[in-house]
Structures are given as C-alpha cells and as structure tokens.
Amino acid sequence: MGEYVLEMNNIVKVFPGVKALDGVTLKVRPGTVHALMGENGAGKSTLMKCLFGIYHEDGGEIILDGKKENINTSKQALELGVSMIHQELHPIAYRPVMENIWLGRFPMRGIAVDHKKMYNNTKELFKKIELDIDPASLAGTLSASQLQLVEIAKAVSYNSKVIIMDEPTSSLTENEVEHLFKIINQLRSEGRAIIYISHKMEEILKISDEVTIMRDGTYVGTWPSSELTTDLIINRMVGRDLSNRFPPKTYETSNEPILEVENLTATNPKSFKEVNFTLRKGEILGIGGLVGAQRTELVEAIFGLRGIASGNIKVHGEEYKAKSVADAKSHKIALLTEERRATGIFGVLSVLDNTVIASQKKYSHMGVLQGAKRREAAVTSNKKLNTKTASMETLIKNLSGGNQQKVLLARWLLTDPDILILDEPTRGIDVGAKYEIYTIMQSLAAQGKAIIMISSEMPELLGISDRVMVMSAGRVAGILEQKDANQVEVMRLATKYLES
C-alpha cells in the first residue's frame, strides 16, 4: 500500500443545470482522521456519495489501496472497505437494534437466521466500543444520540479501511462526543482512516490530523490541522475574511414588555420550575445552559406543547393560557423547533407547501385553496430571506440545511408573529448561512419583533443576544446584560443548580 489508502483525483459531478463537483481532489492516509470542510452546498456530501457508490462521478478517478476502482453501488463500496455514517439516520424502528446492524448479512444456521449468534456478535461489537445498549431492544425506543452511536457501531462492524462520518456529533451530548472521540482514536490506532465532516471548528481542530477544504464544488486545499485556526478555516471556506462573525447592531431595544413569565412550573416534576423572565419588544433574548437544563421544554410549554402546573404568562399585558398551538398562534407566537428534520420540514413536500403550511387559512376561500396567492406569498417570503432553491416546486429535503432553515423561518414569518422562538436556529448550518440567519434575526428585532433564541454555541449566544438568560437544572440561574455576559459567567450560572 502506498502513502494513501484513498485518492480521489479531479472528481467531477454534474446534475442538470449544476456542476456540483469541479475537479475535486481528496487524499487520505491510513490511520488518520481527515476532516472535510466547507459551507453548505460546497459539495462535501456529493463527493462522499461518489465514494460510497450512491452517485457515479462524471469525471476523475477513485483509487483505493493503490488500485483504481469503479464504484457503482453502496454494496460494492462496503465490499471494498468503505463504510458511511449518514447525517440522516433511517433506522427500522420496529426491529431490534441487532437486526438494524446486520441487515443484509444476518448470520445463518442452515436456512434459518441464527439470532443467538447475531445477539452475541452485537454484544461483542458494543463491548469493543463501550456501548451500553441491549442488542434486542427495538431501534425505535432509542434516543437520537443512541441511534447515532449504533450507526457508528454498524460502520465499525464492516471492518472498513475508510469510514465516512457525516456530521456524527450533531445530536450528541458533550459526554457522548468524548465517547465518540475515544472510538475514533481506537479506530485510528488500528490503522483505519476516518473522513470526518463537521461544521464544528473546535471539534475539527481537536480530532483531525489533516483538513481538506472545499468551496462551491471546488478543491481549495489540504493542510495539517496543527497549522490551522478557526479564523483561517473560516477564511478559506468562505473565501473572505469573517473576523466579524456577527452583524453589527444598528437599532435600539425598547423597554416595552411583550411577554411576561411569572413562576412558571411544568406539570412534569423533573422539568422546569418557578421560571421568571420578561421579553421586551425588539429584543433578542438568548437562553443558555447545558444539555438537560430544560430550555426546550420551557419554550415548548409557552408554545402550548407541554403541560404547565402553575404560574402565569402575559402577552402584551393580557393573561395568556398556553393550552395549545392554536392558542399560541392566536397570540402571535411562533416556534422554530430544534430538530428541523424531525419536527420542522415536511421532506416529501415542496418548498412552496412547506412555506405556507402554517398559514393555509389565509389562502383559502370557502374551503378552496387559492394557488396564485399561496405561490405569491411563498415567493415573497423566501425572497426576503434570500432562500436558494431551483424553484418553489423543489422538494425541501433537497435543499441545504441553511436553506431548509430559511424556508421554516419564511413559514413562521407568514403568520406575522410578535414573538418568535428559535430553538438552536443555526444547528448544522455553515458560517455563511449563519451570518444570514443572524442578519434576518436583527432585522426582525429592528421591526419590533421579540425573539427568544436557545443556543448551545457560546460565541452565538454572546454575539447575537441583547440579554442572556441562563438555565440550570430547570431553573433560571441568572439573566445577564450583553455587556456583562461572557463565557466564564455563563458557565458558572449553567452549573449553579446541578448539585442541589
């Protein structure tokens, strides 16, 4: 074997009307973690789909272990020692975890499946990567993070030489990320190569040996991680200096309260308790805290999705009973959920349908939908947000993460909310698209809209919020003015009630 276990040379991929890859090169050494970076739409996933046989390249060559290969199917890729952990997980929910792992290659005893052997093989596999999950449990009963780790176990089970990990930590907690890094280090020590796709700069610099950067379907370059910094990566990814990661604020926040929350306690005793805060007109209120701080649960309760045991909510000074989503919408409250793929987009529907779905009543007359009005509203709303889509008929699942998020924003803006709740609005989105989302948030605040933003990204929380409310173990640990908010103070408050 030569210096590289994998060489992808001058790869070209053309879709109707779009050159998705234009002469891209990727060279990966055995026993290394090779990060692949670029903005959404840079072509990273397309390149990996060519390697994994989902797409076939229109030009260039793929060399594995020094031998040129023509990979036409995922099965062929797996046989050649290439496995892939996809960003979107599609487990068979009603079948056991072990069947999900060995699907298509069940151990047999004669003509029957050897379930005992499958169970033991899975147990052994999980032991190797220190995963404490019962192989017989149904895949549908696992959390998103457990499913992610099972998917990683599945990739390991193929004994692959090259393992592609596409955004593997997007649904993992900090402890689980550490666990994943331990597994990656183990695989690296066994001489396997990991191709690691992520938007998380700190993660990339911590785990990778080399970084290849792509931009607009082209190859920018490859560098040792030790020579890179976050600013350098961003600069090379976007082709411009992004020393200002957040747009400057050009408006004043009013002191007029729009939302007042008093002593709010959840019906679930393990959730939030005695929460007090005020949201002002034209303000971006950031909510920080660690995983499990009950931030999502709090905003979902305000939106009528969870039970409230006691406490009061006022909107524009009037009492508001958050009993249902219809209540929330009638009080001009909108919620952009955390998991856009699971609870936000309707993947099988078009951009148009996804945009107008929350405000359909506006576009129907005597029960008949008015097509022209719906289209006009969808086009106008997406144009304002600079959504990039081939047409309004494009399926939303075919857009990049950043553009999917803009469609969801466009959807809620059509309901004309006064209070916009954004739960992790830039998760899984590249730096360029993040900047656009921040600009949209600021322009909405400048129009007098009040925004609540939950974020687990410290720079974002500190960079875009007018005030930061920090939650710890279901309680409000403190509310900081922007000038007093810093990383140390936020972390101090986030751990305030953990031991009590």
pLDDT of residue 145: 74
Return contacts of 320-323, CB within 8 angstroms, 24+ apart.
none
Query: Do 302 and 385 fall within a single domain?
Result: yes
| pLDDT tens profile 116-128 | 999 999 999 899 8
pLDDT of residue 1: 46
The answer to whether the CB of 212 falls within 8 A of the CB of 37 is yes
pLDDT band at 227 (very low <50, low <70, confident <90, very high): very high
pLDDT of residue 336: 84
- 206, 238, 270 — which closes off a domain? 238
| pLDDT tens profile 343-362 | 567 766 788 888 887 666 67
**Torsions phi, psi of 348, nearest 5?**
-85, -5
Is the pLDDT reported for residue 392 higher than 50?
yes
Mean pLDDT, rounded, for 255-270? 94
Domain, as residue range, for 46: 6-91+142-238
Distance CA 194, CA 187 (A): 8
Query: In this predicted structure, which of 44-58, 92-106, 362-376 has the lowest mean pLDDT?
Result: 362-376
pLDDT of residue 81: 92
Domain membership flag for residue 117: no
Domain membership flag for residue 244: no
- 178, 209, 238 — which closes off a domain? 238
Higher pLDDT, 181 or 169: 181
Query: Do 336 and 459 fall within a single domain?
Result: yes
Is the pLDDT reported for residue 334 higher than 70?
yes
Query: Do 398 and 472 fall within a single domain?
Result: yes
The answer to whether the CB of 133 falls within 8 A of the CB of 97 is yes
Task: Determine the 3-state secondary structure of 228 from DSSP.
Answer: coil
* Domain total in the chain: 2
Is the pLDDT reported for residue 301 higher than 90?
yes
Domain membership flag for residue 98: no
Strands (E), 121-176: 162-166
Query: Do 292 and 162 fall within a single domain?
Result: no
Mean pLDDT, rounded, for 410-420? 84
- Copy the structure tokens of residue 485: 């908010």
